[in-house]
Amino acid sequence: MTLTESLIAFTFAATLLTLTPGLDTALILRTATVEGSKKAFHAAFGINVGCLIWGAMVAFGLGTLIAATRPLARFLRRGLVVKWMDRTTGVVFLAFAARLAFSRR
């Protein structure tokens, strides 16, 4: 496969994946339907800010830095660290759900 053929195949695959609606689209549509356009705009804005943060982290080489620093990479892959991150994320989601459940509408 030549470089041109590879580039055409990549462009086709990237275009197809970009046009396919995903969870972000579902979240925005659900928010617009249930809560209105202003909240949907806020959801879209939050998604875009998150993508910009990920892009900045990649641009500044944070992933490469972690991969190059073997002790840090090994530490982050340890089972206890992964369990701690999972539990912390779970607690944050549960607290957020409880706040939503008990808030006045």
Residue-wise pLDDT tens digits, 29-47: 999 999 999 999 999 999 9
Mean pLDDT is highest, among 29-33, 74-78, 86-90, for: 29-33
User: From CA 28, how far away is CA 21, in angstroms rounded?
Assistant: 11
Type of residue numbered 102: F
**52-60 mean pLDDT:** 86
Instruction: Please check whether residue 44 is in contact with residue 28, taking contact to mean a CB–CB distance below 8 angstroms.
Output: yes
Q: Which residue has the tokens 């209105």?
A: 36
pLDDT band at 63 (very low <50, low <70, confident <90, very high): confident
Q: Is the dihedral of CA 55, 58, 60, 66 positive or negative?
A: positive
Q: In the numeric block, which tokens belong to residue 88? A: 């912390």
For the chain, what are the domain ranges?
1-60, 70-105
Whole-model pTM: value is 0.52
Residue 105's pLDDT is what? 64
